[in-house]
Amino acid sequence: MDIEKKARFGKEILKINPESETEEITEFVREMTLKKFRRKGVIVGLSGGIDSAVIAELSVRALGRQRVLGLLLPERESNPVSLEYGQKQAAQLGIETLIVDITRFLESFGIYSRRNQIITQIVPEFEDTFRFHITLPQNLLEMDRFNYHSITVEGNDGNKRTERLSAKDWMEISACQNIKQRTRMIQLFYHGERNNYLVAGTTNKSELMQGFFVKFGDGGVDIEPIAHLYKTQVYQMASYLGVMPEIISRPPSPDTYSLPVSDKEFYYCIDYELLDLLLYAYENEIPSREITTALGLEEKEVERVFRDFKAKEQASWHLRQIAPTVTGC
Amino acid sequence: MRKQIEQLIRNFIIESFLFGESDSLSDSDSLLERGIIDSTGVLELVAFIEETYGFRLADEELIPENLDSITNIVDFISLKQAHISNKG
C-alpha cells in the first residue's frame, strides 16, 4: 500500500473519497459515543471555522441532530464573524446551541491585563483598545532561517508597529493566550458532562503532526474524528457535506488575537496546499527528486521545509503524549 | 579572545538547554537538528548574546549560518565585534 502511494506522489495524492470517508467517520462517532463511551450525544465547540463545521456535520449524520449540541464560546477579542458563522452553521444543521461568552472567565484569570502589561513594556504606546497579533517570519522557502516570534501592534489610527519578542515575553504572552483554549475546554466538558455527552475534538492531521493546538485546550477532548485528515482533506469533506460557503472561503485563523492573523502567518509559514503535500512527503519519506518534480520546488526549498517540520515536531512532541509514568504504563 | 567567547557560549548552551549534561556536544553540531534549541531557545540565545556583548541582532541575522552551532555563533560574534571596533 505504501509503495503504491509513494510511486504516485503528486498534487493529487491527498484526494479522498468524501462519501466513504463520511461513512467511516460517522461509524466511528457512533461507535465511540454510544458503545465505547456510552454517552447520549456529542458536544462540539463551534468556532465559525471549517474544522468544527465539518465535525458538527459529521456528528449530525452519525447521531441525528437531537444528539448534537453546539457550543459557541466567543470572547472580547474574537472576530465577530466567528460567532455569526457558527450560529448560521448550527441553524443550517438544526442543532441546539448555547452561547457562553468566556470574557468574564478570562478577566478573572487576569489574562488580558497581565498580557497587555507585557505588551506595554515592548510597545510603550500600547493601549487596551489597540489590536495585536503574533507572527513568524514568512520566508521559509526562500532562505535558511530560524523561527522567532514578532508582535505587531495596531493603534486606533490604524498605524502598525512590529517588534521581535524576547523568549520571556513570548512565553508570557503565549501562556496567557493559551488560557483562552483551556477555558473553552472547561466549558465544553462542563456542558458535555451535564448532558452526558462526549466532547468531539476538531484537530486535523496537519495540526496534530506539527503541534498546532493547545495541550488541555483544543487538544483536550474525548475523541478526534478528523485527526487522520490533512487540512486540505477537511476542505474536501466540507464541500461534500455542504458546509456554508462563507466558512469554506474564510482564511483559517487561530482567532485568539485581536488583530486578525492566518494559520500561515502565525505558525506554518506556507500555504496549506503546499504544507499538506510536503507533510505527506515528509511522513512517507518520499524521495526528494519525486517531491521536487511533482511540486516544482528546488531541493533546497524542500530541505528547508523539512527542517522546519522536524523542529516543530520535536518541540511539540509532549503535546501528543499522555503524561509519562515511572513504569511507562 | 575567541577561546573565551567559545567557553561562554558553550557554558550558556549547556546550562540553559542541556541542563548541565554536556555529554557529546561538539562545536560543529547543529543545535536545531539535534533538538537542542527551538524557536524559544533561539530567542534565549539571542538575548544572551545581546546582553553579554552589548549589540543588537537584526532580524535578518537570525539565521543558521550565524547561530546554529557553537562554531557559527563564535564566528558571528567575532565578526560583529571586529565590525563594531572598526567602525568605532
Model pLDDT for residues B18-53, shown as the tens digit of each residue: 988 876 889 999 998 888 888 899 999 999 999 999
Is B38's CB within 8 Å of A148's CB?
Answer: no
Q: CB of B29 within 8 Å of any CB in chain A?
A: no
Rounded to whole angstroms, the Cα distance separating A234 from A224 reads 13
Is B62's CB within 8 Å of A315's CB?
Answer: no
pTM above 0.90, yes or no: yes
Give the closest of B33, B59, B65 to A164, CB-based: B59
Is B62's CB within 8 Å of A145's CB?
Answer: yes
Instruction: Give residue A145's pLDDT.
Output: 87
Residue whose cell numbers read 485563523: A253
Instruction: Give residue A7's pLDDT.
Output: 57
Residue of B nearest to A163 (CA): B59
Within chain A, which residues score under 50 in pLDDT? 1, 5
Is B40's CB within 8 Å of A167's CB?
Answer: yes
Cα angle A22, A280, A296 (rounded to 5 degrees) comes to: 120
**CB within 8 A of A327, min separation 6: which ones?**
none
- Is the pLDDT reported for residue B87 higher than 90? no
Distances (CA, A) of B53 to A122, B43, B62, B64: 21, 15, 16, 19
Backbone angles phi, psi at A22, to 5 degrees: -60, -45
Three cell numbers, residue A76: 472580547
Rounded to whole angstroms, the Cα distance separating B34 from B47 reads 21
Rounded to whole angstroms, the Cα distance separating A62 from A208 reads 23
- For residues A215-252, one letter each, b for 16 or more C-beta atoms within 10 angstroms of the residue's C-beta and e for the rest, the string is bebbbbbbbbbbbebbbbbbbbbbebbebbeebeebeb
Which CATH architecture group holds A18-108+172-320? 3-Layer(aba) Sandwich (3.40)
By the 8 A CB rule, do A84 and A48 touch? yes
Read off the DSSP letter of residue A268: I
Domain-by-domain residue ranges, chain A? 18-108+172-320, 109-171
User: Which long-range contacts (C-beta less than 8 Å, at least 24 apart) are formed by A294-302?
Assistant: A294/A9, A294/A10, A294/A11, A295/A11, A297/A141, A301/A141, A301/A142, A302/A278
Instruction: Give residue B35's pLDDT.
Output: 84
Three cell numbers, residue B86: 572598526
Three cell numbers, residue A109: 484569570
Instruction: Give residue A292's pLDDT.
Output: 97
Rounded to whole angstroms, the Cα distance separating B76 from A166 reads 20
Rounded to whole angstroms, the Cα distance separating B79 from B76 reads 5
Cα angle A224, A241, A226 (rounded to 5 degrees) comes to: 15
Three cell numbers, residue B21: 549534561
Rounded to whole angstroms, the Cα distance separating A147 from A308 reads 8
Rounded to whole angstroms, the Cα distance separating A273 from A112 reads 34
Three cell numbers, residue A249: 472561503
By the 8 A CB rule, do B17 and B42 touch? no
pLDDT digits (tens, 9 = 90+) for B8-17: 999 999 999 9
Closest to B36 in 3D by CA, of B4, B83, B73, B79: B73
Instruction: Give residue B58's pLDDT.
Output: 95
Q: CB of B23 within 8 Å of any CB in chain A?
A: no
ipTM for the assembly: 0.88
Three cell numbers, residue B81: 565585534
Residue whose cell numbers read 549589540: B55
Q: CB of A12 within 8 Å of any CB in chain B?
A: no
Closest to B60 in 3D by CA, of A167, A275, A142: A142
